[in-house]
Structure 1
Amino acid sequence: MREFGVDVPGFTLHPDDVIGVDRHPDIMRSNGCCQGPSGTDGLNLVCMGCAVEVGTRQADCYTDNQVILEPRAVCLSFADD
């Protein structure tokens, strides 16, 4: 982790590996500096099907580019490519 990074508990994935999510309707959840959301304002991703908060996207200049899924809100599934 970077010196100024933000630790969020959950399942960490690359953003390209996450499907079925959309940005949180509360734009204040996506605050960031220059590259994208910092992930410091709570869950900022919702399920596209039911609008439940499911994860946090971090993509700012001082965070890693990642999605952290909330373990209580998601079911992990794996598919062969």
Structure 2
Amino acid sequence: MSRRSLRTGEGESVTSRLPGQEATSRSRWEMEAASSLCSRLCYCGNVVKKHTSWTVSHPGRRFQVCARRNGCTFWEWADP
């Protein structure tokens, strides 16, 4: 049985403990980044954000960009 606690607000953290293990605490951002093993990092080291194009030339096509507003110039198609 695992135990988790979640605090809301900026800098949310999750504390989890499995039987026989010490409790660990990570920020929500760290947990989300770690949960996706295929996460791609942009040039400034952040996990990229996925969007869907709705242009006439590329309707429904997925692409990835830096998640920071006015972040680095990272951009790529996220085709399977």
Normalising by the residue count of structure 1, what TM-score does the alignment of the two structures yield?
Answer: 0.24
**Structure with the higher fraction of residues in strand conformation:** 2
Higher relative contact order (CA 8 A, sep 6+): 1
Which is greater in Rg? 2
